[in-house]
Chain A
Amino acid sequence: MNELTADNLQLWRGEQHVLRGVGVVVDGGQCLQVTGANGAGKTTLLRALCGLTPLDAGRICWRGSDIAIDREAFHSELNYLGHDNGLKADLTAAENLHYAAALRRPVRAPQIAAALAHTGMAEVAGQLLRRLSAGQRRRVALARLVLTGGALWVLDEPGSNLDASGQAVLLGLLQQHLAAGGAAVVATHQGLDLPAAQLRSLTLQ
């Protein structure tokens, strides 16, 4: 079944025609890799797919129903990681995860610790986020992804600032998510080392 479909997405930014009839189809267990030069509209497309940016034309459907009709049901299954990590600098890594998860599902401290350990951030759990490096913050954001789950992941340059082992963690998370039947849309310049059956690609011009 097609989990996420979008056809003929059109979006203008002033005089600039950013999305010109883009179509998207992602099934459960599949990852759509969005590539394209800088400024090609990858972030815009991802934000439009989340329902953050209104479209000029086109329709986005999640499990067959238009996301504009039941936005909250769609968002409850969506997990978005944008350029900004969505973490507070004045909270510790563990506190950040606690409050982020509290918006979605009940979690306990051991689950938070496990999620942080999963992304290699167990040691800095009690540190304020402002003291962490950009790569470490990204790993904490990945830990949030682990913790809050969701059937559809929309990730914008998830590998930015990550070192090689961080990239491996990210790929592992993605593989687990797809194996569990989840869908993903990932904007990235780096190749994703996934089996061809799980990978679709879309290049924006």
Chain B
Amino acid sequence: MSAPRVGLAGAAAALIARDLRLALRRAGDTLQPLGFFLVVTTLFPLALDPQLSLLRDIAPAALWVGALLSSLLALDLLFREDAHDGTLEQLALCGLPFQLLLLAKTAVHWLLTGLPLVLIAPLSAIALGAPYRSMPGILAALLLGTVALSLIGAVGAGLTMSVKRNGSLLALLVLPLAVPVLIFGARATALAIAGEPLAAPLYLLAAIAVLAATLAPLALAAAVRIGLE
């Protein structure tokens, strides 16, 4: 009765392909967080005095609060629908390491919110008066920061997936944990705009991302298993 098994890599790739295809079928929902980020960050220059120095001072805060909230927007849907239609149970029972499959789902969250955000961030950064030479630093910080945000947020999404109307609960759980990302990300962005060396906050962001990648899958699997009971 033992048929050949698929490897973990193949299964994870199929899972990512499935979620990307589903996201494509609901392009409107998928693009929402990105649109939110773009609108929020470009509203600041419109609302403030058009002084370059003022804009540059608030640019790090605007970019990072925007990134944080836009990451949060898509979290709500990360596991809830799968929990509702029973596909999450099937995932838990397929005989492959559950935490790594959930990590694959988290990777989809990053591919759909984090990566596009990094790609359009230069637009917002320019609107906020950031000089061109600061772009590599800003993007590097956002790249590391969004990875960490997706991982931290996924744990919160796993914990609240069976709670109806979980939006505010999710925010209350995730936002405090995301504070270090916000602090170091904004600091790195500020240093990049000022043209100063920004290695220190970037390393700290990288450390947070690595730590989250190591611990989040375990916490996530435990949280989702509780939700499936």
CB within 8 Å of B: which residues of A? 50-54, 72-78, 80, 82-91, 95, 98-100, 102-106, 149-151, 180-182
Contact = CB atoms under 8 A, between A and B. Distances in A.
B92 A52 contact: yes
Given A75-B92, A104-B11, 6 more contacts: A52-B92, A80-B89, A88-B87, A102-B10, A103-B96, A151-B1
Interface in B82-99: 84-87, 89-97
Contacts of B2: 77, 151
B6 interface: yes
19 contacts: A50-B93, A52-B89, A75-B92, A75-B95, A76-B5, A78-B95, A80-B93, A84-B84, A84-B85, A86-B90, A87-B87, A88-B87, A99-B14, A99-B17, A103-B96, A104-B95, A149-B3, A150-B1, A181-B1
A138 to B, nearest CB: 12
Interface in B55-93: 84-87, 89-93
Given A105-B5, A151-B1, A87 B85 contact: yes
A72 B97 contact: yes
Interface stretch (B19-27, B106-114, B157-165, B197-205): B19-27
A204 B6 CA distance: 37
Contact of A91 (B21, B86, B91): B21
B13 to A, nearest CB: 8
Contact of A106 (B10, B26, B90, B97): B10
Interface residues of B, number: 32
B21 A95 contact: yes
Nearest to A13: B229
A13 to B, nearest CB: 10
Contact of A72 (B15, B84, B96, B228): B96
Given A88-B18, A149-B3, A102 B11 contact: yes
Contacts of B10: 102, 106
B86 A83 contact: yes
Interface in B1-51: 1-6, 10-11, 14-15, 17-18, 21-22, 25-26
Contact of B95 (A72, A83, A88): A72
B85 A90 contact: no
Contacts of A100: 90
A75 B98 CA distance: 11
Residue of A76, A88, A100 with highest tally of chain B CB at under 10 A: A88
Given A54-B229, A87-B87, A103-B6, A75 B93 contact: yes
B95 A99 contact: no
A76 B94 CA distance: 6
Contacts of B93: 50-52, 75, 78, 80
B18 A84 contact: no
A30 to B, nearest CB: 15
Interface in B125-150: none
Contact of A182 (B1, B21, B84, B229): B1
A82 B88 CA distance: 12
A103 B229 contact: no
Contact of B15 (A51, A53, A82, A99): A99
Residue of B5, B22, B93, B97 with highest tally of chain A CB at under 10 A: B93
